[in-house]
Amino acid sequence: MDYSHMCPKYEAAAEVLGKKWTGLIIRVLLGGPKRFKEIREQIPQMSDKMLSDRMKELEALGIVERRVFPETPVRIEYALTEKGRDAEPIIQAIQHWADRWF
């Protein structure tokens, strides 16, 4: 791998994954589809507005999909797309690094 020049694709990926809360949201959703409240319970220090904003961003990037179930009351779940699930080795590598050094 050539590390002498910055790759624009790497830069874009690092910007997405490095954005505050994004990695945590992906890590939570690697456990399977979750409702908004369930995500908030696992990341309690994050505000509802910030979670809502991040979910919209991740949905626009094709990392998360919002599923609406026409029940009474309506149920909404968030799940990782294939693109989002492909980040699992990255999340695992960060966890491994964190376990070793933090």
Please state, for a pLDDT cut of 90, what percent of the chain lies above it.
91
Residue ranges of the domains in the chain?
A: 8-100
CATH topology of domain 8-100: Arc Repressor Mutant, subunit A (1.10.10)
pLDDT of residue 2: 81
Q: What mean pLDDT comes out for the span 12-26?
A: 95
Task: Compute the distance between CA of residue 57 and CA of residue 63 in angstroms, rounded to an integer.
Answer: 9
Task: Compute the distance between CA of residue 72 and CA of residue 64 in angstroms, rounded to an integer.
Answer: 24
What's the whole-model pTM score? 0.91
Q: Kindly tell me if the per-residue pLDDT of 3 is higher than 90.
A: no
Q: What does residue 4 show for φ and ψ, rounded to 5 degrees?
A: -80, -15
